[in-house]
Amino acid sequence: MTTPHRPVDALAALAAADPARSAAFDPASPRGRAVLQRAKAAAPTSGARRRRPRGTALATVAVVGLAGLVAATAYVNTRRPSRTLDVGCYAAPRLDADTFVVRADARTAVQACWRLWRSGRFSPAPTPARLTACVLPSGVVGVFPGGAEACARVGRPLAPARAQAEPRVAALNERLDAAVRDAPCMDEPTARGLVQSVLADVGLSEWTVVVARPYQAGRPCTTFAVDEPERRVTLVPVARR
């Protein structure tokens, strides 16, 4: 006869098996400061991040609720996105809704998200009748189900109707992606030379090249981060894949 396993023993065994028990991260170390800089580099400029006063946002929502379509179409504040490479496709007109991030490539942001909806990626949510592109606090385009009122609901300005990736930035990104595919482990000098060459080719010579954190034995290879608002390419050391 076997003895039933006591839950307390099993849970103690699981608690002891914590894979991160020896992991540590010092935010004040050079490594910690480098990650902080990466986080800030991915953040918008303060001007783009500043929100409308809460009262204004609430008033906007109230007006939309009361006046319906007329008020919704009155929310015509349009802004150009500062980051055009990535598009956030949202499952619902809420900033905390499920999101897929896709590349804009040659399609408009709305077209890129329609493809996801049609492929059933948002299932079981029903396919909406319309999608609308808004500019998120980060400067990225977010595409929400609904018409112009969707941007008002999330408190963001509309994006231009044909918002899509800036062609030179898209070309830069495509060339760097291809380089990573072709040369899976590029060291820093090679990566830096490649980026400078591609920047010149696509007409972005004024951009700069920076390194996210020191290269180490465990991270000898490079991946690239294109920072459109700051006009720079960051070399990010990564482990060999």
Nearer to other proteins, 74 or 116 (CB): 116
Residue 80 as a binder of other proteins (CB under 8 A): the answer is no
CA geometry: angle 154, 160, 163, nearest 5 deg = 100
Out of 60, 75, 77, 102, point to the residue binding other proteins (CB under 8 A): 102
Out of 100, 105, 125, 210, point to the residue binding other proteins (CB under 8 A): 100
Residue 181 as a binder of other proteins (CB under 8 A): the answer is no
Tell me how far, at minimum, the Cβ of 239 lies from other proteins, in Å: 5
Is 235 in contact with 211 (CB distance < 8 Å)?
yes
Nearer to other proteins, 49 or 115 (CB): 49
Looking up tokens 């598009």 gives: 87
C-alpha dihedral sign at 117, 120, 121, 126: positive
Tell me how far, at minimum, the Cβ of 64 lies from other proteins, in Å: 21
Both tokens of 157, joined, read 């300005």
**CA–CA distance, 106 with 17 (Å, rounded to integer):** 47
**CA–CA distance, 193 with 197 (Å, rounded to integer):** 6
Task: Choose one: 43-51, 153-161, 181-189, 195-203; the region binding other proteins (CB under 8 A).
Answer: 43-51
Tell me how far, at minimum, the Cβ of 143 lies from other proteins, in Å: 15
Cβ burial 223-239 (10 Å sphere, 16+ → b, else e)? bbebbbeeebbbbbbbe
Tell me how far, at minimum, the Cβ of 71 lies from other proteins, in Å: 25
Tell me how far, at minimum, the Cβ of 36 lies from other proteins, in Å: 6
Residue 182 as a binder of other proteins (CB under 8 A): the answer is no
Tell me how far, at minimum, the Cβ of 116 lies from other proteins, in Å: 10
Is 196 exposed, middle or buried, given 0-12, 13-18 or 19+ CB atoms closer than 10 A? middle
Region 119-148 residues binding other proteins, contact defined as CB under 8 A = 137-138
Residue 239 as a binder of other proteins (CB under 8 A): the answer is yes
**CA–CA distance, 201 with 172 (Å, rounded to integer):** 9
Give me the 13-42 binding string for other proteins, x by CB under 8 A, dash otherwise. Answer: xxxxxxxxxxxxxxxx--xx--xx-xxx-x
Note the residues at the interface with other proteins (CB under 8 A): 4-7, 9-11, 13-28, 31-32, 35-36, 38-40, 42-44, 46, 49, 51, 96, 99-102, 137-138, 218-219, 238-239
